[in-house]
């Protein structure tokens, strides 16, 4: 049972911490104890309290992200100690994952500006992009769609990987697209990447792509209800997708062929919903891609594998 302290007790506790703890290492250790005491969850770029605390400490101290060990034994000023304590306290009380508190997340080795309008980037698709999707693409893609783009992380990472491709980032959420546009600007990719508001393909009529890549909402009702508090700060629209998590993916599979070029490829992350997907579409020859850095449920389909609407087959 976590103890509730009065304001007076809190300020006594804070002055005790300020006099007892001296170094970055002291504060990082103390944060690990408090995070564990309060049962925080780590699934947004870190998987343990030490790393989560490190990110917050580096941010509060205006030190470079990455936890340079040379800083561990450096002493903090009283003002710095107060700033660190305030941020750690916010992490504990609000349950906001660290990237929402720092405003930044890393994906495929690239920094992205983020806030609560978008999902925190963490898709295992990063690994595949870094490997240029080898050996899966029949040709170097000239046109790429990042469907359900959120912060824009997948499409922007693809733009770096495939410099000659034109990339579209699409999302149903105008709020998310504002963040995606900030990231296009941050990475100076306005010539190569554009953002489009679109419910599935509604805003992309007549457009076809060599590669459609997507991390759509795919969490089923039960998993969504049971997710730790940290996940409930992310937009529900980014996670939940109906009873079995497949509402979006069902629509996607029926419409994707109309937006792929002849040799086009569809690569989609569905996580835990892969079992329900296999059951729902036994006729589709899903290739489930291997992920060396963890994660699961990423499938690949060729345009030819997908149902084609007769009136819009490629001429």
Ligand X SMILES: C[S@@+](CC[C@H](N)C(=O)[O-])C[C@H]1O[C@@H](n2cnc3c(N)ncnc32)[C@H](O)[C@@H]1O
119 binding ligand X? (CB under 6 A)? yes
Task: Estimate the crossing angle of helix 24-37 against helix 49-60, to 10 degrees.
Answer: 130
Nearest in space to 211 (alpha carbons), one of 166, 250, 181: 166
Angle at 212 between CA 208 and CA 218, to 5 degrees: 130
Cβ–Cβ under 8 Å, residues 152 and 180: yes
Examine residue 28 and tell whether it contacts ligand X (CB under 6 A): no
Contact range with ligand X by CB under 6 A, out of 8-16, 52-60, 144-152, 255-263:
144-152
Per-residue binding letters, 152-191, with ligand X (x by CB under 6 A)? -xx----------------xxx--x---------------
**Segment contacting ligand X by CB under 6 A, of 1-9, 44-52, 187-195, 212-220:** 212-220
Q: Of the two residues 85 and 219, which places its CB atom closer to ligand X in the complex?
A: 219
d(CA 257, CA 208) in angstroms, rounded, equals 9
To the nearest whole angstrom, how small is the minimum distance from the Cβ of residue 165 to ligand X?
A: 17
> Which residue is nearest to ligand X, using beta carbons?
150
Q: Name the minimum Å distance from CB 215 to ligand X.
A: 4
> Closest by alpha carbon to 233, among 119, 93, 103?
119
Among 24, 108, 148, 268, binds ligand X (CB under 6 A): 148
Q: For residues 219 and 271, give the distance between their C-alpha atoms in angstroms, rounded to a whole number.
A: 8
> Which residues on adjacent β-strands are paired with residue 176?
none
Least distance in Å: CB of 110 to ligand X? 12
**Host H or E run for residue 111:** strand 110-113
**Residue ranges in contact with ligand X by CB under 6 A:** 118-119, 121, 123, 148-151, 153-154, 171-173, 176, 198-200, 215-217, 237-238, 248
């Amino acid at each position: 049972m976590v103890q509730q302290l009065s304001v007076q007790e809190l300020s006594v506790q804070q002055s005790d911490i300020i006099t007892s703890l001296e170094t970055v290492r002291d504060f990082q250790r103390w944060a690990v104890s408090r995070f564990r005491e309060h049962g925080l969850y780590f699934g947004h770029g870190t998987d343990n309290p030490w790393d989560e605390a490190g990110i917050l400490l580096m941010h509060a101290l205006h030190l470079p992200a990455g936890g340079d060990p040379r800083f561990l034994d450096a002493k903090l000023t009283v003002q710095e100690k107060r700033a660190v304590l305030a941020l750690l306290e916010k992490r504990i009380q609000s349950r906001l994952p660290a990237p929402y508190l720092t405003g930044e997340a890393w994906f495929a080795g690239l920094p992205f500006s983020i806030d609560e309008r978008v999902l925190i980037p963490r898709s295992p698709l990063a690994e595949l992009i870094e490997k240029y999707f080898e050996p899966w693409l029949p040709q170097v893609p000239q046109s790429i769609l990042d469907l359900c783009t959120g912060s824009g992380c997948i499409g922007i990472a693809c733009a770096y990987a495939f410099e000659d491709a034109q990339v579209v980032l699409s999302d149903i959420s105008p709020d998310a697209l504002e963040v995606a546009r900030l990231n296009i600007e941050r990475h100076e990719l306005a010539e190569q990447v554009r953002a489009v508001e679109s419910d599935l393909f509604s805003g992309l009529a007549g457009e076809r792509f060599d590669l459609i890549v997507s991390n759509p909402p795919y969490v089923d009702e039960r998993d969504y209800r049971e997710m730790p508090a940290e996940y409930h700060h992310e937009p529900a629209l980014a996670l939940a997708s109906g009873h079995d998590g497949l509402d979006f993916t069902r629509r996607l599979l029926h419409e994707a062929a109309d937006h792929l070029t002849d040799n086009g490829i569809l690569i989609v992350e569905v996580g835990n919903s892969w079992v329900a997907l296999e059951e729902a579409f036994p006729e589709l020859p899903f290739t489930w891609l291997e992920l060396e850095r963890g994660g699961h449920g990423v499938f690949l389909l060729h345009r030819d594998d997908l149902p084609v609407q007769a009136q819009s087959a490629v001429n």
